[in-house]
Amino acid sequence: MTDMDNMVELITHYRAYARENIGCSVEEFCAAYLETHSHKHQSAVSDQEEPRQMNQIVSMQLGRLFGKLWRYVSIYSKKAFEHQDLRNFDEWLYLKVTMMMGNPRKSDVIQQLLSEFPTGIEIINRLVHNGYMTEMPDAQDKRSKRLQVTDKGQTVAQQADIAVFSMVTIVFDYLSDSEKQSLQRILQKLETFHDGHYIHTKSMDFEGLHGFVKGIIEQK
């Protein structure tokens, strides 16, 4: 195809997208177009070594970027909680998730937050000790304990909401609204994928995990 043919095809796709998504921006169209067509492009060139190498390089760069961004989040969150009653971002997360789940078992909260069990128990015990949570026997399972956030816990969590909102503003507000929406859509796609397979893979070693996920991706 010539450059003109490519341009005509792109304009045609844009007009169709704009009719279905009234008021959309060019950035939103581009993000949607790339998300829809990237897999087709990868399939068309899958027998070429160079695109495979490029894909590996991009994946490694994504890993580096996510790792560095998370370190920035850690640095900013420490500053955000310096003058809060809660010790850190993790305590805020445990309170918020417990409030969202209502009256959950300890193990369910820890699993929801993907924490190591000893780490999760340590955080919960600290919150209970400070009067932010209470624990009670599970009527259905005497081996388990259920959690409830106290009024005091709700108050400190709500006070910390302001600090957390300011922190995420620092992290993400350099992006435009449409860029944030595109990033949210992509990250939710990844979250849904990993949430759907975590139960089956959490007991696997790394080789088993890699093979399992690779097999799913190859079936796309």
What pLDDT is stored for residue 142 in this prediction? 82
**pLDDT at 45 exceeding the cut of 50:** no
**pLDDT at 80 exceeding the cut of 50:** yes
What pLDDT is stored for residue 104 in this prediction? 95
**pLDDT at 65 exceeding the cut of 90:** yes
Question: What are the φ/ψ torsions at residue 203 (nearest 5 degrees)?
Answer: -95, 0
**pLDDT at 9 exceeding the cut of 70:** no
Nearest to 138 by CA among 112, 104, 167, 188: 104
CA 160, 162, 166 angle in degrees (round to 5)?
120
Nearest to 164 by CA among 76, 53, 33: 76
Token pair listed for 132: 């932010």
**Residue 81 burial (C-beta neighbours within 10 Å; 0-12, 13-18, 19+):** buried
Could you give the domains of the chain?
Answer: 80-170 (1.10.10.10), 175-220 (no CATH)
**pLDDT at 220 exceeding the cut of 70:** yes
The mean pLDDT value of the chain amounts to 86
**pLDDT at 207 exceeding the cut of 80:** yes
Amino acid identity for residue 46 in this structure: S
**pLDDT at 205 exceeding the cut of 80:** yes
Helix (H, G, I), strand (E, B) or coil at 25: coil
Q: How many angstroms separate the CA atoms of 56 and 99, rounded?
A: 40
* Burial readout 155-169 (b: 16 or more C-beta within 10 A, e: otherwise): ebbeebeebbeebee
**Residue 191 burial (C-beta neighbours within 10 Å; 0-12, 13-18, 19+):** exposed
Token pair listed for 137: 């026997």
Of 15-19, 72-76, 144-148, 171-175, the least confident: 15-19
Q: How many angstroms separate the CA atoms of 86 and 117, rounded?
A: 20
What average pLDDT does range 87-101 have in this prediction?
Answer: 96
**pLDDT at 148 exceeding the cut of 80:** yes
What pLDDT is stored for residue 131 in this prediction? 97
Question: What are the φ/ψ torsions at residue 137 (nearest 5 degrees)?
Answer: -65, 150
